[in-house]
Amino acid sequence: MWRLWKMVLLFWVVGGCLFWETGFAQKRKPPPTRRFDGPGAPKFERLDGRPGVNPSVSSNGNFLIGPDYLPASERRQIQGVPQGKVQQFTMDSKDGRLFNPGIARKVFGTVDPNNPKTLIVETHPMDYRRQITVYIPSQYVPGTAAPLMVVHDGPKGRPNMALPRILDNLIAQKRIPAIITIMIANGGGDAQGHQRGKEYDTMSGLFAEYIEAEVFPLVEKNCGVRLTQDPDGRATMGSSSGGSAALIMAWYRTDLYRRVLTTSGTFVNQQWPFEPKTPDGAWGFHNKLIPQTPKKPLRIFLAVGDRDNFNPNVMRDGMHDWVQANHRMAQVLQAKGYPYQYLFCLNSGHGVGNAKAQFLPHALEWVWHGYGDQQQP
């Protein structure tokens, strides 16, 4: 009996160590810090070592910022600046058409042995509720069609007033137009097999069409506003997969959107289920789509951190490096002659939160630069 217990104890100890090494330890391993002049990096104009300094809003190209940052003054509520209003309402998936029902998974999945570019994932249908948060500037004139910005991963509870405060200040300073901003909560979960992944990582115009057909009519009805149909007066914004979703919407529906703001954009192979027409997912943007497609009327802002995601899951297809993905995006956009601005943020991780506190007002102004000038963005 004692021999049996020793075997059980030995199995528990060894198994526990293996679990620690293959499970928690790997999950907690931080991404490597990438040098700004490392392999595959574009050439950057150096603004590093100058906290609070951002590039000019009239400039294009690649810029290095950090490692220290100063939060932008536009983040504060300033006395005398007109304050917009924020309204919220909720959508039920059961009342919709394009994403009814949603999907979810219980476990992440395994790499398909017949196709290393995708996962085998078991999903199940689910119902979900989506909160919509709408910022309406005080300068909005009722009855007029306002320019707009869609923001992905909107709040699922009380609104975060950081972005509305920035918008109040930029609009009052006439640095951006009086935009109505629609912050749309995701459908739940993340990545392959979850509703958020289906919405954000799918390489098609479906999510843009969903917003156009099912979200915007409720925004206009519930908030008493009109939204412009002019694609030059429409922007999309997001971080991580929300960033790739912002570009996906504008790329596939350029008739609806022309301005894109991304941070830590997931321009990697995260589309699921596998689609033979776009086998590399959003990695295909810089691998084939942008280089091989005639230039589109898009204006694109990108930012990534030097410690951004690197192979964060079981996929090992060479297409899960967020830093290289964004480097490659900048290179193909430059080669194609797109108006773009790319910030490489030192001392910053996924989402570039510390850097974004400094550059977000600048990024918004850059994205909207030229609006109303009767010129292509």
pLDDT digits over 94-138, tens only? 999 999 998 888 887 888 888 778 877 777 898 999 999 999 999
% pLDDT > 70, the chain = 90
Residue 226, strand partner residues: 145
CA–CA–CA angle 40, 301, 155 (5° rounding): 115
What does DSSP assign to residue 233? G
Predicted local confidence at residue 16, as pLDDT? 37
Res 258 pLDDT > 80: yes
Pick the more confident residue, 314 or 144.
144
Pick the more confident residue, 63 or 160.
63
User: Residue 245 and residue 200: Cα distance in Å, rounded?
Assistant: 5
Q: Mean pLDDT, to the nearest integer, of 341-362? A: 98
Q: What residues contact 36, with CB distance under 8 A and at least 6 apart?
A: 44, 48, 64, 306, 344, 346
Predicted local confidence at residue 28, as pLDDT? 55
- Between helix 353-367 and helix 162-172 the angle, nearest 10°, is 40
- Nearest residue to 330 (alpha-carbon basis) of 342, 343, 344, 346: 342
Predicted local confidence at residue 350, as pLDDT? 95
Predicted local confidence at residue 26, as pLDDT? 41
Size of the chain, expressed as the number of residues it contains: 377
User: Residue 327 and residue 191: Cα distance in Å, rounded?
Assistant: 22
CATH architecture classification, 43-367: 3-Layer(aba) Sandwich (3.40)
pLDDT digits over 181-218, tens only? 999 999 876 777 778 888 999 999 999 999 999 999 99
Res 4 pLDDT > 80: no
Confidence of residue 315 (pLDDT cuts 50, 70, 90): low
Where do the structural domains in the chain lie, given as residue ranges? 1-30, 43-367
Predicted local confidence at residue 259, as pLDDT? 98
Q: In b/e form, how buried is each residue of 234-273, taking b as 16+ CB within 10 angstroms?
A: bbbbbbbbbbbbbbbbbbbbeebbbbbbbbbbbbbbbbbe
% pLDDT > 90, the chain = 73
User: Residue 71 and residue 52: Cα distance in Å, rounded?
Assistant: 7
Predicted local confidence at residue 14, as pLDDT? 33
